[in-house]
Amino acid sequence: MEDIFQELINKAKEARLKAYAPYSKFQVGSAVLTENDTIFTGCNIENVSLGLSICAERVAIFKAISSGCKRIKAIAIICDTEKPCSPCGACRQVMVEFSPEMEVIMVNHQNKIKIAKAKELLPGFFKGRAIEHR
């Protein structure tokens, strides 16, 4: 595996410690690597109005986008599950919006790793009229 992927995993692990998940008690950490090799991290943030909660992946991706980086090369996601942490459907759709080719590095606490491209995780994803605006 590429060294930069290991660095992303380490950053995701660190970000997970900042998770605000008092309701589910399920902490997730994430880190994205942009086209220009900047790293942005995210953790899940819940709310007493549960539907307002947001996943770690989208926090990291939105930090990148709002900093002007729309092309993402890779995203690492870590949580404490038996299998490597698999992103939810909503986050998959957000991933393909910006970079269908992004490498999604799924990790768990035993350091089990699975890697797949975003577009492979959401076959037949919604494209609307596919107007190029990115």
Question: Known catalytic residues?
Answer: 57
- Rounded CA-CA distance 33/123 in Å is 23
Other CB atoms closer than 10 Å to residue 30's CB: what's the count? 32
Closest by Cα among 14, 53, 52, 54 to 31: 14
Residue 24's closest CA among 58, 57, 47?
47
Q: Does residue number 12 form part of the binding site for ligand THU (CB under 6 A)? A: no
- Least Å distance, CB 28 to ligand THU, is 3
87 counts as binding ligand THU under rule CB under 6 A = yes
Among 55, 69, 102, 121, interactor with ligand THU by CB under 6 A: 55
**24 near ligand THU, rule: CB under 6 A:** yes
Contact residues toward ligand THU (CB under 6 A) are: 21, 24, 26, 28, 44, 46, 53, 55-57, 87-88, 91
